[in-house]
Amino acid sequence: MNSEILKKRTKMFAIDVARFCEDLPPRFSIAAYSRQLIRSSSSVGANYRAACRAKSMADFINKLKIVEEEADESVYFLELIDELENSRKELVAKLMKEGNELLAITVASINTARQRTTRKSKI
């Protein structure tokens, strides 16, 4: 998958999460979790874009580690909302699937980048 496709996917993830959160009931716990979810899901795309502008392989890996943390955090807040608000199970499942896919892609990219760094240092 190329970087432009991943940029679009991470942006769409943030937009889909924001639209989902707008329709949640205004209960205190749901509102708090949805704010955190919006922050973390939008941070996935923002930090991926930053990783694409990295100055070095180490910088790239560090920025992708932030993407990994934010994607994982997004899935966590989706799980919490799913437990508290069970009227939107299908949409939550779709968002969790995308969040987990973005997380897996990020982890695979980090591992590939680390392998390239390791190979270069052995030469």
Q: What is the pLDDT of residues 7-37, one digit of tens each?
A: 999 999 999 999 999 999 999 999 999 999 9
Q: How far apart are CA 117 and CA 98, in angstroms?
A: 28
Question: Is residue 96 assigned to a domain?
Answer: yes
pLDDT at residue 87 in the model = 81
* Amino acid type, 93: A
Range of the domain at 94: 3-118
Helix (H, G, I), strand (E, B) or coil at 28: helix
Structure token digits, residue 77 = 């807040």
Question: Is residue 65 assigned to a domain?
Answer: yes
What's the whole-model pTM score?
Answer: 0.92
pLDDT at residue 121 in the model = 62
pLDDT at 86 over 90: no
**What are 38-84's pLDDT values in tens digits?**
999 999 999 999 999 999 999 999 999 999 999 999 999 999 999 99
* Cβ partners under 8 Å of residue 113, min gap 6: 57, 60, 61, 64
* Amino acid type, 40: S
Structure token digits, residue 79 = 């799980």
Q: Which of 37, 32, 67 is nearest to 49 (CA)?
A: 67
Query: What CATH number corresponds to the domain at position 28?
Result: 1.20.1440.60
Q: How far apart are CA 107 and CA 25, in angstroms?
A: 33
pLDDT at 113 over 90: yes
Domain count, the chain: 1
pLDDT at residue 88 in the model = 86
Q: For 123, which DSSP code?
A: -
Question: Is residue 123 assigned to a domain?
Answer: no
